[in-house]
Amino acid sequence: MNKLSAYLLFTAALLVKNTYAQLPPVFAGTHLKDVQKEETVRRYLSPVKILWQTPDASTHIKNAERLLQPGDGQADLSGQNLCVMHNDEKGKAGILLDFGRELHGGLQLVTDRSRGGKPVRVRIRFGESASEAMSSIDTLHGATNDHAMRDFIISLPWLGKLEVGNTGFRFVRIDLVDDNAELKLKEARAIFVFRDIPYLGSFKCSDTLLNKIWMTGAYTVHLNMQDYLWDGIKRDRLVWVGDMHPETSTIAAVFGNSDVVPKSLDLARDITPLPEYMNGMISYSMWWILIQHDWYMHNGDLKYLNQQKAYLKTLLNQYIQKIDANNSESLNDGTRFLDWPSSTDPKAIHAGLQAMLVMTLNAGAELSVMLKDPATAAQCKAAVERLKKNVPDAGNSKQAAALLSLSGLMPADKANKVLSAGGVHNYSTFFGYYMLQAKAKAGDYQGAIDAIKNYWGPMLSLGATTFWEDFNIDWLPDASRIDELVPEGKKDIHGDYGAFCYKGFRHSLCHGWSSGPTPWLTEYVLGVKVMAPGCTVIKIEPHLGDLNYAEGTFPTPLGIVKIKDTKLANGKINIDVTAPKGIQIIKAGN
């Protein structure tokens, strides 16, 4: 085969195998299975603010504002308009940059000539909060390099460029390390790594705070849509299946179909041979089934669903076998977990798992019917009837009450009394989504809207641009903002709080499981309810509460549905819907 034929063959193969990277012709003959295409793009952003400089900065840093100007990523020989940092016997140079919002990626540094042509050492610290970027790796406030390096020393080249870092951050501190050193810095830009995908879904209402919360939830999940669907971009850069459920609900409402969902679900399946549980947690394989159900309802991809049939059937039978003679879940062969705040309450965990098992087997029955497996569907339904005979006490657990309500084991109004006690005290960012759903089931839509504003809203008032791994309104008194150095007499909302695996600065401030208000507002306020696989039937049933209107869009496999709900003078709601051909719209009350 001559070179031209090899090149043409290779190029044709690349066009067919579009999941792999396009390569120059010199790579003819490379095995395509060895070539991986990135799902993300890179963009470069200059900082928007210099938040801090070392004491007596004027003697150690000159022209720092240069770093705020747009860059081009290219070193040059002009020697002009540079930020110059130098250390001497009187002190060392350091600077804290604010890039304006949470990002995933790293840092690009462009340098000028250095003394003697030698590399210059700098210490780089990334932070999701200003105080985290100012912290050191220690055991006092939980600052770590877990999952992603956020604190390290590197050498910068003479008249060149270095790109470093792969983490979640908003702030970067740069310190010149060595005595009597000098650094001439042309640029310090964030490398923003993300999926370049459109926001097909939208939400707007008469309350600007709700609008901001909806978009913040969407952006939080967007950042976590990397090659796989992660839970956090600084820490927990892993595929946690249970944590994915609010994320996949957000993706369906905002981005529509995305291959990151089935890719991540398949990874979890493939690394979890039965009878093991995904991520070692009993409930997480349940969430896998629930996500498969919801994802099929939105996308209607029966071919993909059929690929899950064998694993799904075996997993459902495994769960059915875990019901004892008292019709109680007996799931004791893995970690019993709902979410972290409820993890010290065995009674709540039991009640929650009993409810989740009902929800899982109901979803499994529906999936089995779709997969033409009536025998498994019948077994699931029979198991649910047994579980209904044993209703555990939720106690004061809002997590357990929410799941018991959603499973039908507890009357919705009874569960809502537990959920309403103390307002948003004892909410959690993960299970808050199911608390909102349970309030909606009880008809307490205004209560849910208020909870969204009172629980997720304060994170925004503290400077958040993404939602956090956890939040507790008891942290609010005297709390500082994350985009400022902690003032005297204030508490560090990031470094001083947290529990379980998220103490102090280890706490993730961009966690996808916290995005629940986004799909909730789309479903219950805008009113979009998918009634048939592939969104072929959609019911529009808005609940505006004290809002005057809500409008937005909803992505489906057949195109974008546009909705506007307007409250009339008589209190009724006018629903205006435009839908693509092939979608049946059912308006509430019609």
| Strand extents, DSSP E, 444-544 | 528-530, 537-540
Q: Looking at the structure, do residues 29 and 46 belong to the same domain, yes or no?
A: no
- Cα 264 to chain center, whole Å? 13
Measured CA to CA, the distance from residue 362 to residue 470 in angstroms comes to: 30
Structural domain includes residue 296: no
**Total structural domains within the chain:** 2
Structural domain includes residue 71: yes
Full DSSP string of 352-398: HHHHHHHHHHHHHHHHHHHTT-HHHHHHHHHHHHHHTT-----TT-H
Tens of pLDDT, residue by residue over 120-142, are 999 999 999 999 999 998 766 77
**What sign for the dihedral angle of Cα 369, 371, 375, 379?**
negative
Structural domain includes residue 432: no
Q: Looking at the structure, do residues 48 and 181 belong to the same domain, yes or no?
A: yes
Task: Using pLDDT thresholds of 50, 70 and 90, give the confidence band for residue 15.
Answer: very low
Q: Looking at the structure, do residues 56 and 178 belong to the same domain, yes or no?
A: yes
Structural domain includes residue 141: yes
Tens of pLDDT, residue by residue over 173-223, are 999 999 999 999 999 999 999 999 999 999 999 999 999 999 999 999 999
Q: Looking at the structure, do residues 33 and 86 belong to the same domain, yes or no?
A: no
First to last CA, the chain: 69
What token pair was written down for 165? 């870092």
Query: If you average pLDDT over every residue of the chain, what do you get?
Result: 94
Q: Looking at the structure, do residues 120 and 188 belong to the same domain, yes or no?
A: yes
Structural domain includes residue 415: no
Give the mean pLDDT of 559-570: 97
Q: Looking at the structure, do residues 25 and 52 belong to the same domain, yes or no?
A: no
Task: Using pLDDT thresholds of 50, 70 and 90, give the confidence band for residue 396.
Answer: very high
Residue that terminates a domain, selected from 194, 219, 253: 194
Measured CA to CA, the distance from residue 232 to residue 98 in angstroms comes to: 20
545 closest CA partner among 470, 440, 424? 440
Residue that terminates a domain, selected from 136, 165, 194: 194
Q: Looking at the structure, do residues 51 and 103 belong to the same domain, yes or no?
A: yes
Q: Looking at the structure, do residues 153 and 21 belong to the same domain, yes or no?
A: no
Q: Looking at the structure, do residues 115 and 131 belong to the same domain, yes or no?
A: yes
pTM of the full structure = 0.94
Q: Looking at the structure, do residues 31 and 173 belong to the same domain, yes or no?
A: no
pLDDT at 8: 41
Residue that terminates a domain, selected from 171, 194, 217: 194
The answer to whether 484 and 491 are in contact (CB under 8 A) is: no
Structural domain includes residue 128: yes
Structural domain includes residue 439: no
For residue 89, the domain's CATH number is 2.60.120.260
Measured CA to CA, the distance from residue 304 to residue 461 in angstroms comes to: 42
pLDDT at 139: 61
- Among 95-109, 141-155, 452-466, the range scoring the smallest mean pLDDT is 141-155
Tokens 């740069």: give the residue: 174
Q: Looking at the structure, do residues 32 and 146 belong to the same domain, yes or no?
A: no
pLDDT at 142: 78
Q: Looking at the structure, do residues 10 and 127 belong to the same domain, yes or no?
A: no
pLDDT at 2: 52
pLDDT at 16: 40
Is 50 exceeded by the pLDDT of residue 576? yes
Structural domain of 49: 42-194
Structural domain includes residue 378: no
Task: Using pLDDT thresholds of 50, 70 and 90, give the confidence band for residue 7.
Answer: very low
Tens of pLDDT, residue by residue over 441-478, are 999 999 999 999 999 999 999 999 999 999 999 999 99
Indicate the residue type of 258: S
